[in-house]
Structure 1
Amino acid sequence: MLKQLYIRNFTLIERLDMTFREGFSVITGETGAGKSIILGAIGLLKGQRADSKLIKRGADKCVIEAHFDLSRYGMEAFFIDNDVEYDPDDCIVRREITASGKSRAFVNDTPVPLSVLKELGEQLIDVHSQHQNLLLGTQDFQMEVVDIIADDRHLINDYRAAFDKYRLKQYQLDEMRRQIENNKANADFLQYQYDELSAASLVEDEQKELEALSNQMSHYEDIKTALYQADNALSGEGNGVTENLRTAINALHSIESVMPKAGELASRMDADYIDLKDIADEVEAQLDNVDFDPKRLDNINDRLDKIYSLEKKYHLDTVEQLIHMRDTLRKQLENIENGDGDLRILEGEVEKTHKEAEAKAATLSEARHKAARKIEKEISQRLVSLGMPNIQFVICLTSTDLTPSGADKVAYMFSANKNVPLQPAAQVASGGEIARLMLSLKAMISGAVKLPTIIFDEIDTGVSGKIAERMAEIMCEMGNNERQVISITHLPQIAAMGATHYKVFKEDKDDVTVSTMTMLSAEDRVREIAQMLSGSDISEAAINNAKALLKYK
C-alpha cells in the first residue's frame, strides 16, 4: 500500500509530504484545487510520459517519490527479475524531471528503465478515472475482466503456444504454395537454364587449370628457348655444369690418399652432383615434352570462352558458382515435381496444429463461460444493492475463428428496467449506471488481483443520496480486505465514510498560488462535509447533518 507521497516543484505544488493510511480514505477539495495534479504526479510514478512543462515555474527540477509497503503482496520475483533490491516494508519509487526535459526513474535508489517503472506501477496502484468508464465498451477490457475472474492465465499461455505453432505451420504452407506456384510459372525457364548448365559438364577448378594451360601454350617459344639454354648449361658437351663437376670430383678423389681433406671435399661434392644431375635430367625431360599444338590451344580457349560466356550470362564469377546454381536449379525442378506431395504433408501438419489450437481454445472458452456466469451473478447482486432492482446483466460469449486471444467474442449486455431488452452496456447505461457497474467490476477484480492500492477519481459521478452511501460502503469493504482504497469525491455521503480524510486546496504564497494537501482532524472533517452539504455559508443544520453522516459523538 501507499505509505507516503512526496512531491516537490510539480506544477502548482511547491512541496508536499503526505502520509497515507490503509483502509478506505477520501480526498476532497473544490474543483481546480489541485486533485488532478496529485493524480498526475502518481501517473508519473506509473511510467506516464514526462514533460518539462510540468516543472514549477522557476525550479530546475521536480521530484516525485512514493513509499510502499509490499509485505503482504508477494512481489519479490519482480525485483529479482529486474535486479533491484527488494525491501517489502519500504519500497521507494522515485521520478525526477529536469528543466532540460531529462527524466530519470529509480526503484529503491536503483536506476531503472521507464518500462520497468511502468510494469511495477501497474502492480502497485490502479487509478480509475472517469475516462476509464469508456473501457466498458472495449473488447479487451471486457475479456480481461473475464480472464481475471477465471484465473486462466495458464490456459491462455497453453492456447497461445498452440496458436503460435499453428500460425507458423500456416505461414510455412502459404510460403510453400507461393514458391510452388512461382516455380511452376517459371518451370520452362528453369529447365532451360538447368539444361544449359548441365550440358556444359562443369568441373571444379577447371577454369584455373585451363587458364594456366592457355597461358603456358601462348608462351611456347619463350619456354622452349629457356629450357634449351638451361639444358645446354647443365649437360652440354665440354662445358656442361654436370660434366665439369664430375671432373672436379674425380680429381679430388685421385689425391685423397695423400690429402685427406681433398677426399672430404669430394664427398661433399658427390651429394651436390647427384642433385644437379637429377635437375639436369628433369630439365631435359621437360624440353622433350614441350610441344606446341595449335589445335589444342584453340580447344582450350574455346572451352574458356564457353565458361566466360556462362559466367557473364548468369552474373557469376567462378565455375564453382555456376555449379552451385546448376544444383539449385535441379532442386527447384525436383521440388516442382515433388511439390504436391510435400504440400500434402504440410497441409496435414497445419490441420493437426489447428485442431490442437482449437482444443486449447475450447478449454479456455469453458473456463471463460464459467467465469462469466459468476460475474453475472455477483455484479447483479451488487447492482441491486446500488439501487438497480430490475437489473439485467449478461455476458455474451460467442465463438469466433481462432485469434491470438482465443476463439471468443465478448459483449456485456445490460438493461436497468423491466421489459427493456438487453443491449450493449456502454451504449445504453447512463453515467450513474456506468459508475455503479464499473465500481462493482473493480470491486470484484480487486478481490482476484490483490492490488495494493486503488484510487477512484470521482467514480461517483451521476449518483447521490443512498446510492452514493452504498458505493462508499463497497469501497470500505474493499479497503478492509488487505488493500488501500482512496476515493476522490465531491459527495459528502462518500467523504463521510472514509477512515481518513484529506483535503486539497489552493493558497496564495508570496506572489504565487500553490496547491497543497492536508489530513483533516475530526473537527475539520465536520466543517468540510458541512461545506460540501451547504456551500460556502455553513449553517448549523449543515453542521448537524455532517455530524450525522460521520456518526459524530
Structure 2
Amino acid sequence: MLLNLAIKNFAIVSFVEIDWQKGMTTITGETGAGKSIAIDALGLCLGSRALANTVRPGSNKAELTATFEIADIPKASKWLSAHDLQQDNECIVRRVISAEGRSKAYINGSPVPLAQLKDLGQYLLNIHGQHDHQLIMKNLEQRRLLDDYANHQELLTDLKFYQNQWHSLKSELQILQQNKQQRLAQQQLLQYQVKELDEFALQEHEFTQLEADFKRNSNAQQLLLLSEQCVQEISADEQFNLLDKLQKATEHLNQLAELDSSVKSIATLVNEARIQFEEASHDLVDYQQSIDLDPQTFALIEERYSTAIDLARKHKVAPENLVDFHQNICKELNAIASDDSRLEHIHDEMENCLVAYKELACKLRTSRIKAATKLEKAITKSIRQLNMPDAIFKLDVTEKDILEPTAHGSDDIEFLVSMNPGQPVEPLAKVASGGELSRISLAIQVILAEKVVTPTLIFDEVDVGISGPTAAKVGQQLNKLGESTQVICVTHLPQVASKGHQQMFVAKLTDGKNTQTSVTELTLDARENEIARLLAGDEITKTSLANAKELLAG
C-alpha cells in the first residue's frame, strides 16, 4: 500500500508531504485548488510523461517521492528482486524533473530507466481517471476488461507466442517465394560449375605439386646437364674433382696432426666435408636417375596444370584457391537445395502453428463466454444498486473469421445494455447517457478491483455526472472496497467524501504574487465543515452542518 507521498516544486506546489492510511481516503477541495495534484504526482512517480508545466515557476527542478509497503505485494517484491532493487519491505520510488524537461528516475535509491517505473507501477497501484467511462465504449477496452476479469494473461501470452511464430514463418515464406526465380537461375549456374569442378576433381594442395612437377619436367634436359656437371666437378672428372682434392688435403692434415695435435680439429672438419661431398655426389647420381624424360608423362602433367590455371581464370580465383572455391559453391548449392526443401515444409509448419493457435483461441473463447456470464450478472446487479433499477447489462462474445492470427484471439467483445423495461439490449455507446456511462464504468472498475487485486486503487473524479441517492450508493461501494484494498478517491460529492476513513483537503493559497497548493488531513470537526461546504456551498448553515454530521455518522 501507499505510505507516503512527498511533492516538491511541482506545478503550483512548493512542498507537500502526505501520509496515507489503510482503507478509503477521500480528497476534496475548492474548484481549481488542484485536488488531483497528488494523483498527478503519483502518476509521474510511476512513469507518466512529464508536461511542460511540471516544474513550479522559478524552480530548477521538481522532485516527487512515493513510499510503498510491499510486504503483501509478492509480485512487486519478485520484480524488485529480479532487478536487484530489493530493500526490506519498503519500496521508495523517486522522480526528478528539470525545468528543461529532462527526467531522472530512481527505485530504492538506484537510478533506473523510466520504463522500469512503468513496469513496477502496475504492481503498486491502479489509477482510474474521470474520462475512463469514455474508454469503455471502445471494443478494445471492453475485451481488455473481460480478459482482466477472467485472468487470461497466461492464455494471451501463449496465444501471442503462436501469433509471432506464424507471422515469422509467413515472412520467411514470402522471402523464399520472392527469391525463388533468382535462386533457380543461381542454382543452374552453380550446378554447371560444380559438375565441371567435380569432373576435374582437383585435390587439396595438388596445384602446388602440379606447378612443381610442371616446372621440373619442362626443364628436364637442363636439369640433367647441370646435375651431370655437378657430379663431374665433385667426383667424376679424372683430371680434377673436389673429392680427390679433399682426400689429399685430409691425408696432409693427418700428417700435420701427428706433428702438431692442434691441427687435429682442422683435419676433422676437412674430413667431414669430404664425407658430405661424397654423400652429395651419391645423391646427385640418384637425382639424375629420377629425372623422367617421358614425353607422355610430361604431357599429362602439362595438360592438368594448364586446365587448373584455365579453370581458376574462368572463376576469377587464384589457382591455389580453386579447391576452396569448389567447396564454397558446393555449400552454396546445398543451401539453395535446403531453401527449396524449406519451402516445401514451411506450409506444414504454418498449418501446425495455426492449428495450435486455433486450439488456444477456442480455449480462450470458452473461458471468455464463461467469464462473460458471471461478469454481466455482477455488473447488472451493481448498476441496479446505482439507481438504474431496470438496467440489464449483457456481454456478447462473437467468433469472427480471421485471415491471420492476432494477439487477442478470434473474438469480438461488445458491451450491451438495456436501460428500460421492454427495451432490447443495444451497444453501450448507443444507449447510455453520460451519467449512466459514469455509473456503469464505476461499477465495472469496482468489480474488477475486487477480482484483479491491486494494493492501491485511485479514483480521480470518476463520480462525475452522479448525484443524490446514486452518489450515496457509490460512496458505500467504495467504502466497502476500502475494507480489502487501499482506496484513494478525488471527489466533489459529499455522499462519497463522507464515506472515507480518512479525508484530505486541498486548498490554494496566494499572497497576490505567488500561488501554492496545500494538502491537509482533516480532523472530525474539519470534516463536518468540509462536508457541509460540499452540501451547501461556501455559506455553511446549521442544516448543512447537521446533514454533514448525519452523512459522517452513516
* Pairwise same-fold verdict (TM > 0.5): yes
Whether the aligned pair in 2 keeps the contact of 1:311 and 1:317 (CA below 8 Å) is no
Partner residue of 1:508? 510
Shift of the 259–65 alpha-carbon distance from structure 1 to 2, 3 Å rule, reads same
Kindly state the Cα deviation for residue 8 of structure 1 after the two structures are TM-superposed.
0.8
Shift of the 295–391 alpha-carbon distance from structure 1 to 2, 3 Å rule, reads same
Kindly state the Cα deviation for residue 379 of structure 1 after the two structures are TM-superposed.
0.7
Kindly state the Cα deviation for residue 47 of structure 1 after the two structures are TM-superposed.
0.9
Task: Please give the alpha-carbon distance, in whole angstroms, between the structure 1 residues aligned to 2:318 and 2:365.
Answer: 57
Q: Are 1:403 and 2:410 matched, yes or no?
A: no
Task: Please give the alpha-carbon distance, in whole angstroms, between the structure 2 residues aligned to 1:493 and 1:84.
Answer: 42
Map 1:351-362 onto structure 2 (within 5 A): 351-362=351-362
Matching residue within 442, 445, 452 for 2:445:
442
Map 1:35-434 onto structure 2 (within 5 A): 35-50=35-50, 53-74=53-74, 75-88=76-89, 90-164=90-164, 182-184=182-184, 188-198=188-198, 201-210=201-210, 234-235=234-235, 237=237, 239-252=240-253, 270-283=271-284, 286=287, 289=291, 299=303, 302-312=306-316, 318-328=321-331, 330-331=333-334, 339=340, 345-400=345-400, 401=402, 402-434=405-437
After superposing the two structures, state which structure 1 stretch, 197-206 or 489-498, moved more.
197-206
Partner residue of 1:15? 15
Kindly state the Cα deviation for residue 147 of structure 1 after the two structures are TM-superposed.
2.5
Shift of the 316–301 alpha-carbon distance from structure 1 to 2, 3 Å rule, reads closer
Task: Please give the alpha-carbon distance, in whole angstroms, between the structure 2 residues aligned to 1:490 and 1:225.
Answer: 119
Q: Are 1:461 and 2:478 matched, yes or no?
A: no
Kindly state the Cα deviation for residue 277 of structure 1 after the two structures are TM-superposed.
2.8
Task: Please give the alpha-carbon distance, in whole angstroms, between the structure 2 residues aligned to 1:292 and 1:55.
Answer: 99
Partner residue of 2:2? 2
Q: Secondary structure at the residue paired with 1:356?
A: helix
Kindly state the Cα deviation for residue 475 of structure 1 after the two structures are TM-superposed.
0.8
Shift of the 185–247 alpha-carbon distance from structure 1 to 2, 3 Å rule, reads closer
Kindly state the Cα deviation for residue 265 of structure 1 after the two structures are TM-superposed.
6.0
Amino acid at match of 1:246: Q
Q: Are 1:486 and 2:477 matched, yes or no?
A: no
Amino acid at match of 2:130: Q
Task: Please give the alpha-carbon distance, in whole angstroms, between the structure 1 residues aligned to 2:343 and 2:29.
Answer: 70
Q: Secondary structure at the residue paired with 1:361?
A: helix
Task: Please give the alpha-carbon distance, in whole angstroms, between the structure 2 residues aligned to 1:405 and 1:354.
Answer: 14
Task: Please give the alpha-carbon distance, in whole angstroms, between the structure 1 residues aligned to 2:427 and 2:215.
Answer: 88
After superposing the two structures, state which structure 1 stretch, 134-143 or 69-78, moved more.
134-143
Task: Please give the alpha-carbon distance, in whole angstroms, between the structure 2 residues aligned to 1:218 and 1:394.
Answer: 99
Q: Deviations over 1:84-109 (max 9, x none)?
A: 12332x32221122345442222222
Whether the aligned pair in 2 keeps the contact of 1:458 and 1:489 (CA below 8 Å) is yes
Whether the aligned pair in 2 keeps the contact of 1:206 and 1:319 (CA below 8 Å) is no
Kindly state the Cα deviation for residue 413 of structure 1 after the two structures are TM-superposed.
2.0
Task: Please give the alpha-carbon distance, in whole angstroms, between the structure 1 residues aligned to 2:319 and 2:286.
Answer: 40
Runs (5+) with no aligned partner, structure 2: none
Q: Deviations over 1:324-349 (max 9, x none)?
A: 3441465367569xx57x65555444
Whether the aligned pair in 1 keeps the contact of 2:459 and 2:489 (CA below 8 Å) is yes
Kindly state the Cα deviation for residue 522 of structure 1 after the two structures are TM-superposed.
2.2
Shift of the 52–299 alpha-carbon distance from structure 1 to 2, 3 Å rule, reads same
Q: Secondary structure at the residue paired with 2:487?
A: strand
Q: CA RMSD in A?
A: 3.7
Task: Please give the alpha-carbon distance, in whole angstroms, between the structure 2 residues aligned to 1:233 and 1:423.
Answer: 119
Task: Please give the alpha-carbon distance, in whole angstroms, between the structure 2 residues aligned to 1:109 and 1:493.
Answer: 41
State TM-score, norm by structure 2. Answer: 0.85
Kindly state the Cα deviation for residue 417 of structure 1 after the two structures are TM-superposed.
2.7
Q: Secondary structure at the residue paired with 1:72?
A: coil
Kindly state the Cα deviation for residue 317 of structure 1 after the two structures are TM-superposed.
9.2
Runs (5+) with no aligned partner, structure 1: none
Task: Please give the alpha-carbon distance, in whole angstroms, between the structure 1 residues aligned to 2:111 and 2:393.
Answer: 46
Kindly state the Cα deviation for residue 479 of structure 1 after the two structures are TM-superposed.
0.7
Equivalent pairs: percent with the same residue?
29
Whether the aligned pair in 2 keeps the contact of 1:415 and 1:423 (CA below 8 Å) is yes
